[in-house]
Amino acid sequence: MDPALTVSMPQELTAHTGLDAFSHAIETYTSRQRAPVSEPLALKSLELILEALPRAVRNGADRQARRQMSLAATTAGIAFTNSMLHTGHHVSHVLASRYHLSHGLACILTIPAMLAYLCPAVGYKMARLAPLFGAPDDLPQDQAEVWVVEGVRAFISDVGVPSIEEVSGDTGAAIPGLVAGILEHGPNPFSPRPMDAGAYTWVLERTFDTGRLLSDWPGE
């Protein structure tokens, strides 16, 4: 692990690889199959990424930010090696193939909607995540859930990630075909909520139309 080797990475590559590490950490943290050792590692990785990635994107020569991101990516890798990834990565393979997106970009696009959909199963874990996004420690769980989803959206925007409409040229008409491709890709057993055609449709609809994300929160 040599952060000096990452200094020459352009902004877009810095952002997308950093967001892949973010996806590793957030999916590990919410995974149905998680080892006790993976949770603190995932949380530490998220803490580092939230602080360092915007700095690394804005100034690639920021050696401290590069060191933090190298540590965060490695820590997240150790975390998911001791756990399992799920929905964000599961969907990303179809998005990347259809729209010719980088892996990290394809992973991060659905993370806000994925988290919202998973909240009925892992809302208590969102309460632990919320302080990383600046929330007070005693925030009620239902408010913490919204805080985290909005915090992730703001973080993604801060590092310059465009909307899925911008990168795909699509407005959501392709959702049925995307869902079919995701289902053909195989099972997603490590999601804390079962993911079927309806669940993937819910996530993709709110990825393409983010205005719906908080207006019709998923039920139990």
What pLDDT, in 10s, does the model give residues 73-86? 999 999 999 899 99
Query: 220 lies in a domain?
Result: no
Query: 29 lies in a domain?
Result: yes
Query: 152 lies in a domain?
Result: yes
Query: 40 lies in a domain?
Result: yes
Look at residue 188 in the predicted model and tell me its pLDDT: 95
Query: 217 lies in a domain?
Result: no
Query: 204 lies in a domain?
Result: yes
Look at residue 218 in the predicted model and tell me its pLDDT: 79
What confidence tens digit (pLDDT) does each residue in 108-120 have? 999 999 999 999 9
Number of domains in the chain: 1
- Return the structure tokens found at 110: 């659905």
Query: 13 lies in a domain?
Result: yes
CA distance 170 to 67: 37
| Domain of residue 201, CATH code | 1.20.1090.10
Look at residue 220 in the predicted model and tell me its pLDDT: 58
Query: 219 lies in a domain?
Result: no
Look at residue 16 in the predicted model and tell me its pLDDT: 97
Residue 206 is given by DSSP the state H
Query: Do 96 and 58 form a contact (C-beta atoms < 8 A)?
Result: no
Look at residue 219 in the predicted model and tell me its pLDDT: 64
pTM: 0.95
